[in-house]
Structure formats: C-alpha cells, structure tokens
A and B are shown apart, each in its own frame.
Chain A
Amino acid sequence: MTVFLLRRLLQAAAVVLVMSLLVFLGVYAIGDPVEILISPEADQIERERAIKALGLDLPLWQQYLVFLGNALRGDLGRSFVFNEPALRLILDRMPATLELAVGATILALLIGLPLGLYAGLRPHSPVSKGILAGSILGFSLPTFWVGLMLIMVFAVQLGWLPSTGRGETVTVLGMRWSFLTRDGLAHMIMPMVNLSLFKISLIIRLTRAGVRETMLMDYVKFARAKGLSPARITLVHVFKNILIPVVTVVGLEFGGTIAFSVVTESVFAWPGMGKLIIDSINVLDRPVMVAYLMVIVLMFITINLVVDITYSVLDPRVRLEGK
C-alpha cells in the first residue's frame, strides 16, 4: 500500500510539473508576457522596472524556474483588478464552489442511484423507459439554458426561490458557508439542481447498466439459490458491485463538476471560483487565470489520487495487487 501510494504521489508530482510548464508556456510564450502580466495602464518606466523585477529579460528556461519557485512558495502573482494575491482571491471563493459541487454530487447520487437501480432491475417497465428517456434529455439539455428556465419558473413566475447570490452565510473554520443557513440553503437549491442535472443522468445510466450486467452474473443467481431475500441480494450483492464503477466515475467527475460550475455560477451569480474566472477572463486579469488553472490542476490530481485510493478500498482485487 505504501509503495502504491508513493508511486501515485510521484506520478501526481510529474503531472503537476507538466501542467505548470503548459500554463507557463500558455501565459508567457503565447502572446506578449509584458502585456499579460503588467497592467495595461502602467507607463513606460513602470513597465521597464516591472520587466526587470519579473525577470522577463532572462532566458525562457530561467524564467520558468523563477515561476516555478514562486509557485512553490504560493506566489502566483497579484490580480490587476483586486490588487490582491491571485491565489488568495481564488481560495476565498473556493468554499462557495465546493459547497455547490459537493451538494450537487450528493443530490445526483440521492436521485440517480435509486432511479438507476429501479431501471436496471425492471428494464421493461414503462417507468424504467421513462427514467431512461429522462436521462437522455438530461444529457442533451444545455446546462445554462436549464438554469435560465429554473430562474424563470421558480424565481420569476412562482417566486418560491431567490434567483441569484449566496444568501446569508455563516463562518465556520474561517470560511463562509451558505448551506448552514435557511436563507443560504434556499439560494443553493436551484444552482445545485442545475449543476447536478448532468450527473444525475450519468449516474442513472451507469447504475442501470451496472445492475443489468450484475444481475446476469452467476453469483447473483447463486445468492438466490442460497435463499437470500431479494432486498439483501439487491442491496448487498448487486449494489456493492456497481458501487465500484459509480464511485470511480462520480469521483473523477467531481473535477468536471467544479469546472462546469463556471456555467452554473454565471447563470445564478453565485460568487465562487467559476464566476471569478469568467469575470477575470472578461477583464483579462491574467494572474488570476494562471492561479485558477494551477489550483484546478492541483485539485484534479488530488481527486484522482483519492479516487484511486477509494477504489482500492472498495475492490479487494485491486487492493491486493497494490500490496
């Protein structure tokens, strides 16, 4: 297990390095780095001083090392717009995005697993066909448009839910959270549903396919031959087997959810990382873009690592091979 972990950590470090190189090249080599990193309002003297200070007169590989060194110290530059360290800006917004993404994932599991299970156990019932048709629709619906429709129906027409913002927040562990207050939760519902739509469809399809495949396995028939109750067969024998692919995909998709919250946050003016990055792109606040990219890459790698470890806990076959 230790060797397995160590190897995975090394791989992760290698990917971070590669991604940092890509981001570096993206920001520094494509386009004029001076234009990217120095506020367009700066005058000539300021520019020259900044070029010297930023080491832009050095050869490219040395610049990369400087960038890398700064990044390691947590210095990813300062935002032009907010005049704050870019990294801190991102981290400030992270709780908002995280609570949205985690909420959407939980919601997707709560809705997707039972529906998928039902559709898999009774593939020919009309309800199952309806569930499947719904999941195809869920894949096809453009997220942002669904978000607009949600606002139109539930905020404008019915007036049940607030349309934008985070609502009231509470500070816990030095971070502001919405899900702990009634008002915050009310603000969260629509963005959460919106963000989970695609995942619900995905989980329904995965679960349904997994159940149908597992039900055909000899060990399910053997479990029935042992005289187990249908509930135990479904909830233990079938469920534990389909949990493996579902957990893997949901885990890997978590990164995608955070990325996709860019859209949902824009629709519902939810002040998270996604909204920040869209605003930064629109005003060309490049240090924030760089910081966001590096943070996202790190998150992705962490997620992959966690998924791998969870996977090995769930599937005894993998666990032993890793030893």
Chain B
Amino acid sequence: MSSTTAGAPPVAAAPRVETPFRRFVSEFAESRLALFGLVVFAVIVLVAVLAPWIAPQDPYDLAQLDIMDGRLEPGSVGGSGITHWLGTDDQGRDMLSGILYGLRISLTVGAGSAILACVVGASLGMLAAYAGGRTDSLIMRLVDLQLSFPAILAALMILAFLGKGILNVVIALVVVEWAYYARTVRGTALVERRREYIEAAQCLALPTRRIIFRHLLPNCLPPLIVVGTMQVARAIALEATLSFLGLGVPITEPSLGLLIANGYEYMLSGKYWISFYPGIALLVTIVSINLVGDQLRDVLNPRLKK
C-alpha cells in the first residue's frame, strides 16, 4: 500500500517491472464482465461527447423540429427525410438525438457532482482525521445525520428551497453525497496516520500540508476511487429521478430522466418508445458503471487479497 509514498527506489533499468499500477490493471482485467462494462461506459462517454457531430438532429434547434413529425414510431422516416430509428417525441424531436444530448447532461451532472462532493467530502474527512477531538466528532455527527436521512428526500427538500436548474441539482447531489467520501477518507486517514512512516514524516518536521497531500491523501485514493465510481452511478440515477419528478433539470436542458418523464403521458396510449429508449440508455449507463465499480472494489480492497 505504501509503495506510492515511500519513495520507491529507482528501478529504471528493469523491463516489465510489476508496478502496483500494472498489477492493478491485470487484476481488473481478470473479470470479463467488468472489462465489458468499462468498454460500454467508454463508448457511452464517447458518443455523449461527440453528440453534436453524430446525432442525426440538433434537438434544441427548433428550426429542425417539425410538429408534424410528432410521435412517430421507431424506424419511420420524418418529413425532413431523416430516419427516426428510435421514433420521435410529441414535438417531433428525434429520440436518438435527444438521448445522445440527454446523456451529455446526465453524465455531466453525475460526474460533476461526484467530483465536487469528493473534494468537499475528502477535505472534511481529512480535517476530521487530522484535527481529531471536537472538530472530528462534529463532522462525524454531521456525516451520521446525513447518511441516516434518505438521499432522495434530502435532495428533494434542497431543490424545493433552491428551485430547478442544473447547478441546483449539482448542489443537492453534493449535499447528499459528500458524507460517503468524508467517512471513507477519515477512516483510511486514521489508519494511515498511525503508521510509522507518518510518524517519521512528523519527526522530520515536514509541514502538515506536505504530510497530508504527499503522504495521507495518496493512500486514501483506492477507497475513494471505489466510492467515487459507485457514487457517479448513484448521482446519475438520482438526477434522473429528480428530473422525472419535475424538480431536477429545466425543460430546456432535458436529461435522460426528463425525457422519460416527457413520455409518461403517452405511455398509456401505447406509445412506449418515448420513455422506453431513454430508460434503456440510463440503465446501460448505470449498469456499466456499477460493473466497473464492483470489480474495482474487489481489486482495490486489501481485505479480499489472499
């Protein structure tokens, strides 16, 4: 574990050294399913990034929409000559394009909130571990309180007070997620703090900042990565749920959740595709992240090592 920090001796000459990273990669690749998840997720990210170039239509450009094309079945050809492989919604918007653009928003919100929550949570967790005493117990009480309260409710309330909007959704997600990171970092940091190398660093009178960033934080990284991966999936699901309930992203920036919500009323008349395909996209995204996360947890968890 400490090889990343202990200042590994220079082994430049030896080819194919078993570095911790290489071992990590080969262990991760042991699970075909996880590898598959990783590839699927990479493809999803790629198409989301490239959406403006590969989508058949710009779903935000009202000039390209034709209300006459509304609610077309999958595979039908619209008035503009585009084949709508996944059908159209009530506005005549191509569902495939809508999904590609929706993925961008879902992924941005998910990843953005996870990164922000990680920064906030990790800092507070580190502060708790390092300061100890009352600061520690105050922060941990907050963590307990946060974790005992269902995320969906906390997020709903925050959005109720703040109102809709991508930024507000991100804030709500950060508020409900920071505690996981804080708990993880504090737990790991408390263990690492007692190790000899930290004591040695303290004896050398290294500045606290250096000890935290160069010594403690790198060791908290593996559990943080595991928690982070799982939280991205959770954030994406939560954002979709909030948007479905009408409290998430605004209509002008439809995420997958909002697309699904838009199809709700047409569902009862048998026009399934408006809700169905965005749901599949959401499902595949979440499952692929969870598959990767599951394997990461197994590989990075030293307790499971035999």
A interface list, Cβ under 8 A from B: 18, 26, 30-31, 136-137, 139-145, 148-149, 151-152, 155-157, 163, 255-256, 259-260, 262-263, 266-267, 277-278, 281-282, 284, 289, 293, 296, 300, 304
Least CB distance from B90 to A in Å reads 16
| Chain B residues near A256 (CB-CB < 8 A) | 150
Which of B153, B276, B294 has the most chain A CB atoms inside 10 A of its CB?
B153
Q: Complex formed: what's the CA distance from A300 to B148 in Å?
A: 9
Number of interface residues of B (CB under 8 A): 38
Q: Is the CB of B272 within 8 A of A152?
A: yes
A260 touches B161 (CB 8 A): no
Cross-chain contact B233 with A30 (CB below 8 angstroms): no
Q: Indicate which residue in B157, B246, B283 contacts A145 across the interface (CB closer than 8 Å).
A: B283
A293-B241 CB under 8 A given contacts A136-B290, A152-B272, A300-B149: no
**How many Å from the CB of A267 to the closest CB on chain B?**
8
Question: Contacts A136-B287, A140-B233; is A262 near B152 (CB within 8 Å)?
Answer: yes
What are 15 contact pairs spanning A and B, CB under 8 A? A26-B161, A30-B161, A136-B287, A143-B241, A144-B245, A145-B260, A145-B283, A148-B260, A148-B267, A152-B267, A262-B156, A278-B156, A282-B247, A284-B160, A300-B149
Whether B245 pairs with A278 at a CB distance below 8 angstroms is: yes
The 8 Å CB contact of A282, one of B145, B246, B263, is: B246
By a CB distance below 8 angstroms, the chain B residues around A289 are: 157, 160
A-contact 0/1 string along B246-281, CB 8 Å cutoff: 110000000001001001100111101001100100
Task: Say yes or no: is B180 at the interface (Cβ < 8 Å to chain A).
Answer: no
Q: In the complex, A277 Cα to B154 Cα: how many Å?
A: 13
Q: Contact: B153 with A259, CB < 8 Å? A: yes
Secondary structure dominating the interface of B: helix
Evaluate contact between A148 and B150: CB separation under 8 angstroms.
no
Say how far B200's CB is from chain A's closest CB, in angstroms: 38
Q: How far is the CB of B34 from the nearest CB of chain A, in Å?
A: 12
Residue of A whose beta carbon sits closest to that of B280: A145
Given the complex of chains A and B, what is the CA–CA distance between A136 and B257 in angstroms? 21
Partner of B245, one of A136, A149, A263, A300: A263
Residue from A152, A259, A281 within 8 A of B152 (CB atoms):
A259
Instruction: Kindly state whether residue B244 has any CB partner on chain A within 8 Å.
Output: yes
Q: Judge whether B240 and A142 touch: CB under 8 Å.
A: yes
Interface residues of B in 62-87 (CB under 8 A from A): none
| CB neighbours of B157 from chain A (8 A) | 26, 289, 293
- Complex alpha-carbon distance, A26 and B159, angstroms: 12
